[in-house]
Amino acid sequence: AQSVTQLDSQVPVFEEAPVELRCNYSSSVSVYLFWYVQYPNQGLQLLLKYLSGSTLVKGINGFEAEFNKSQTSFHLRKPSVHISDTAEYFCAVSSPNTGNQFYFGTGTSLTVIP
Amino acid sequence: EAQVTQNPRYLITVTGKKLTVTCSQNMNHEYMSWYRQDPGLGLRQIYYSMNVEVTDKGDVPEGYKVSRKEKRNFPLILESPSPNQTSLYFCASTPNWAGTDTQYFGPGTRLTVL
């Protein structure tokens, strides 16, 4: 089975400051990587995903993530956060080699401080 | 509107009283799954279904049952709920299993078992 590690459970950051949310996954021959966002009292929605090709992936709301195969990482970044970015962020992985399942990390709670 | 619906949104019950949480999607998706979300544990997959009449266990299937008699519906059944099943439950669907597709999540069902 795959495993996903989100090292930071809570990240406070001031408005308009940059932020990086970290995600590492267990090694596999090939993986597909996702970042989902969960706003308070809502379900999850996709921010971005990496399937293949360019290692820098751009998503919605100004977020981007970089796939680093050698470090088995897929960190999420935003150069300038807004109050509306306050939410829970989940990294997820799937792979054609480990069955028909998705694996999620434990989540990072991002709080943007005015 | 394309969506995944769950009912009920909130449920308080007592130990041992059978319950069903319904999930329905209107996107003609083949793949559906159930997750539970617990603090510090993230989302964990309970069961998934590749298509009608095809279901399989995820990482935490004990105490749960599912069925997939129609493509659009994927109910989660707790035959004898226990307090350790108190959690936030999400249903999700994706067009098919390739591991590359976006998952579409329902709004969640908050279950409390007393």
What is the rounded distance in angstroms from the CA atom of residue A98 to the CA atom of residue A93?
Answer: 10
CB B40 within 8 A of CB B104: no
Average model confidence (pLDDT) for chain B?
95
Q: Which helix (H) or strand (E) holds B77?
A: strand B76-78
Q: Please indicate whether, in this complex, the C-beta atoms of A100 and B31 are within 8 angstroms of each other.
A: yes
Q: Does the pLDDT value for residue A15 go beyond 70?
A: yes
A108 contacts chain B (CB < 8 A) = no
CB A5 within 8 A of CB A104: no
Mean pLDDT of B34-39: 95
What is the rounded distance in angstroms from the CA atom of residue A110 to the CA atom of residue A11?
Answer: 5
Interval B44-99: pLDDT, tens: 999 999 999 999 999 999 999 999 999 999 999 999 999 999 999 999 999 988 78
Q: Please indicate whether, in this complex, the C-beta atoms of A101 and B59 are within 8 angstroms of each other.
A: yes
Tell me the chain A residues in contact with residue B57 when contact means C-beta distances shorter than 8 Å. Answer: none
Interval A37-70: pLDDT, tens: 999 888 899 999 999 899 999 999 999 999 999 9
Let me know if A30 is exposed, middle or buried by CB neighbors in 10 A (0-12, 13-18, 19+): exposed
Q: Which range among A28-37, A54-63, B34-43 shows the weakest confidence by mean pLDDT?
A: A28-37
